[in-house]
Each structure stands twice: as C-alpha cells, then as structure tokens.
Amino acid sequence: MTYDSETSMSGSNRSVSAMFDSVSEAHRAVDRLKAAGLPSSSIRMVEGSAAGAGTARDPNADKGFWDSLSDFFFPEEDRYTYAEGLSRGSCLVTASNLDATEYETALDILDDDGTVDLGEREASWRSEGWGGYESSAYAAGGVPGATGTPGYEEAGYSEMRPHHEGEHREMGRDESIPVVEERLSVGKRDISHGRVRVRAYTVEEPVSETVNLHDERVELERRPVDRAAHDSEDFRDRTLEAEEHREEAVVAKEARVVEEIGLRKVSDSHQETVSDTVRHTEVEVEDDRTNPSRTDR
C-alpha cells in the first residue's frame, strides 16, 4: 500500500512512498525504480531501527526518525505513521519530483513489490496500545517523552505527567499553570480508489461464407448420320477445339478499424465538512482574601 501526493498545482511534481518490512525488499524496489528509468536523484530510502519492534524504544531515536522525515512534505499524520514504522524496523522508499508517466511507473512498482499495507499495520499497532498521531506529543507541538507519546511507558521510560483535577501542591514563585488550547488542522492526501486498464490483443475466430461457383465442361458428342459425302468438303482436314472452365473461390481479407477506445481522466471538486472536538484549558480563580492588594486585581 502506498501513499501518493501531488505537491504542485500543475500535477508535474508528484511523489509516491511505500514501506517495506526488510531492507532487502526496499533495495529491490529501489533497483526496479532505477531500472524503469527513474533518476536516482528522485529516489530516497530511509532504513528503520536495526533493533526492531521487539526491544526497548529509545525516545531520542524515535524523535530522530520524526525529524528525518521533515523535508518529505508528508501530512503530519502520515509522517508520524512512517516514523513509527521506521522505529519498528521497517524501511521507507520514496520517489519524488515525478512527471505523470514516471508517477504511474513508480506506483505500479511500489504496489507490486512486497509493500506494507499501512492501514492494516496501523490497526495492528492500535490493538497493541499505539495511539496514533492524534494522541502524540507531536500533534501538540511537543517532543518525545511528553504526555501522549506512545510506547515509552511500556519500554520503561518515565513521562512527565500533569497534575489531575483534585491534586494540590504548594507553588513556588516561578511556577505557573499552562493554559492549553487545541486547534483543528485539516489537511488533504491523495488516496487511490483503483485503476482502469485497457489491453488490446489479437484473437482468431472461424468464419464461413457461401458462394455459387459455375463449372463449364466439354463433352464429346457423336451423332449417327447417313448421307452422301462430298470430296471437297467431307475429306478436308479440320480440327475442333473447346476449352473447359471452372470457377473457384478466391479468399481476400481487408482489415478495417471499426472502433477506437481510449481513457481520459475527469476531475471535479467538492467540499466536505470535517467535524471534531478540540480541548482547551479553563482557568478558575478563587480569591477569598478580605483585602487583596491593588497589584492582584
């Protein structure tokens, strides 16, 4: 399964990305892309963690994968998914700056060469407790190790957690309560809905036609007669000759173009309203002092 995107309005600067479970599969896909004529400068491969998913997670390494994808122009959700896959040992292959022909070629190769189905893989991760981008610290502009970053508690790393409602502690002069506000950001990504292929090939089928043929034969005819012979006529040398004719079928074939089939793309636009919930911090101040100073007002 691949994620593909168009990074320019003209559609001449497209990219296709795919993940692989092994370095050898990723290298094989890169070799096929180069053999298909794609320039090496357009192909990038990022290797994932050599430790794989079965060992303790290193927060700095996870952040490194996130940072390494900053110039790939992925939507934040896709970037976080790819970074998670890299941290679990997968490899990422991306072909970018493609024209329309190169884009179709890259899409065919990356769809057929052992690509990871990210939809199924995300579902598997979520069943293990992975929260996705929406619950990560990156969604709120944080760094790995902050509240919401998945995987660290299971790996034995401590997290900084806020005080819950009902907890109280004495505050120093320089301590403060952060006021947090979530903002909804809606992006777009191009998802393939399948394709249409038209293939032309030649087949043979038996046909038959009926034609009337005329035969012309020569027959020898003898008629008995009894009359007086004339020397000048009947004893003269003479020759009779007739030629037989027969019609036979002659087959000729003519190829005619009877139909033309082509494909064209028709695009349209529509608006979609995305609804979600965002959180923000409400601050309630209780002041039971009888005579507050002017500077506190």
Rounded Cα distance, 96 and 109, in Å? 14
* 100 has a pLDDT exceeding 80: yes
Rounded to 5°, the CA angle 1-65-100 comes to 40
Q: How many CB atoms lie within 10 A of CB 49?
A: 19
- For residue 123, the model assigns a pLDDT of 86
pLDDT at residue number 63 = 63
> What pLDDT, in 10s, does the model give residues 167-187?
444 445 567 788 888 888 888
Nearest to 55 by CA among 90, 88, 21: 88
Measured CA to CA, the distance from residue 219 to residue 29 in angstroms comes to 82
Q: What is the mean pLDDT of residues 83-112?
A: 84
Mean pLDDT for all residues in the chain: 75
State the CB neighbour count (10 A cutoff) for residue 133.
18
Return the CA Rg of the chain. 42
Sheet (strand 91-98) strand order: 2-6, 14-20, 91-98, 43-46
The secondary structure element, H or E, covering residue 2 is strand 2-6
> Which of 202, 234, 240, 233 has its CA nearest to residue 219?
240
- Please tell me the CATH code under which domain 2-116 is placed: 3.30.70
260 phi, psi to nearest 5 deg: -125, 135
- Report, as an integer, the average pLDDT of 103-120: 81
| pLDDT for 199 beyond 70 | yes
What percent of the chain has pLDDT above 70?
71
Segment 152-159 mean pLDDT: 34
Domain ranges within the chain, ordered by starting residue: 2-116
Between 135-144, 150-159, 243-252, the lowest mean confidence (pLDDT) is in 150-159
Q: Span 262-285, mean pLDDT?
A: 87
Alpha-carbon gap, residue 75 to 31, rounded angstroms: 27
pLDDT band at 288 (very low <50, low <70, confident <90, very high): confident
- pLDDT above 70 for 146: no
DSSP codes, 53-112:
TTS---HHHHHHHHHHTTTS---HHHHHHHHHHHHTT-EEEEEEEE-HHHHHHHHHHHHH
As a whole number of angstroms, the distance between CA 36 and CA 109 comes to: 9
The 3-state secondary structure of 132-187 reads CHHHCCHHHCCCCCCCCCCCHHHHCCCCCCCCCCCCCCCCCCCCCCCCCECCCCCC
Q: Say what the pLDDT of residue 212 is.
A: 93
Query: What average pLDDT does the segment 138-150 reach?
Result: 45
Q: Is the pLDDT of residue 114 over 60?
A: yes
- Report whether 59 contacts 72 (CB < 8 A): no
